[in-house]
Homo-oligomer: A and B are copies of this chain.
């Protein structure tokens, strides 16, 4: 028996999320269908976590057990030639048998992208939120820093979240700004990055929706600590649309490779 680890990128627009569902197209469903074609076996993959409908991934990680003898350097081409064009395997490795893409994960990073210009950018529109009005970018940057540390993130979790604890550690939370081609200081492309030991259901999208309100001047950056402390979903902003969100990378401690 072998344990194979893979990194996969996908554009989520066409899928009803990552996790397999009996009726709807999902990323997991496509991958498992291709694994069946390649190995002849029904294989269930284990991913680092789900992503919602419309959410993208640059570096989602999954693993699966197989008795297939396909050499590790052959998997990538074999899979990419069969997968739809919006799903691409970018890395394949031989993992120890106890590697589990979810339980072994140490850090996950998400990116949420906002494009603030008068007209949308056609060529990146599928992976960002279009915001036609200017945003207070310095205030958003300051607000992002308040998420760092160990906190109870109940205010930033969907009420549908079923985790036993809402305490998570955010290692880093920052904003990157690509300046506007117009020279306007409050326009351009904004990437919100957040790295933590785990995330609650909808947590990054609710953070993005709240940061957006800071950018719109509806809230000040120093309200973020109060919102966290309230442990009340009603105190935070709305859940931002899925298309701006991307699972950026999943990190392990090095023992994920043989």
Please list the residues of chain A having a beta carbon within 8 angstroms of any beta carbon in chain B: 9-11, 56, 76, 80, 85-90, 118-120, 122-127
Residues on B with C-beta less than 8 A from A118 are 76
Question: How far does the Cβ of A129 sit from chain B's closest Cβ, in whole Å?
Answer: 14
Residues of B within 8 A of A9 (CB): 122
Question: In this complex, what residue of B is CB-closest to A118?
Answer: B76
A88 near B127 with CB under 8 A, answer no
Pairwise interchain contact B10-A119, C-beta atoms closer than 8 A: no
- Please, how many angstroms separate the alpha-carbon atoms of A124 and B123 in the complex? 7
Most buried by B among A10, A90, A122: A122
Q: Which residues of B contact A10 (CB under 8 A)?
A: 122
In the assembly, what is the distance between CA of A245 and CA of B118, in Å?
25
- Chain B residues contacting A85 (CB-CB under 8 Å) are 120, 122, 125
Bound-complex Cα distance A88 to B119 (A): 7
CB-CB under 8 A from A56, the residues of chain B are 123
Q: Are the C-beta atoms of B123 and A11 separated by less than 8 Å?
A: yes
> Which chain B residues border A87 with CB–CB below 8 Å?
122
By secondary structure, the A interface counts as mixed
Task: Name which residue of chain B comes closest to A9, CB basis.
Answer: B122
Which residues of B have CB within 8 Å of A89? 119
**Docked CA distance A126–B122 (Å):** 11
The distance in angstroms between the C-alpha atoms of A120 and B90, with both chains bound, is 9
**Docked CA distance A80–B85 (Å):** 28
A119 to B124, CA, bound (A): 19
- Shortest beta-carbon distance from A115 to chain B in Å: 12
Write the nearest CB–CB distance from A60 to chain B, whole angstroms: 12
Q: Which residue of B lies closest to A11 (CB)?
A: B122
Q: In chain B, what residue has the closest Cβ to A126?
A: B123
Are B122's CB and A88's CB within 8 A? yes
Contact A123 B127 (CB under 8 A): yes
The docked-state distance in angstroms from the alpha carbon of A71 to that of B10 is 43
Contact across chains for A88 and B120 when beta carbons are under 8 A apart:
yes
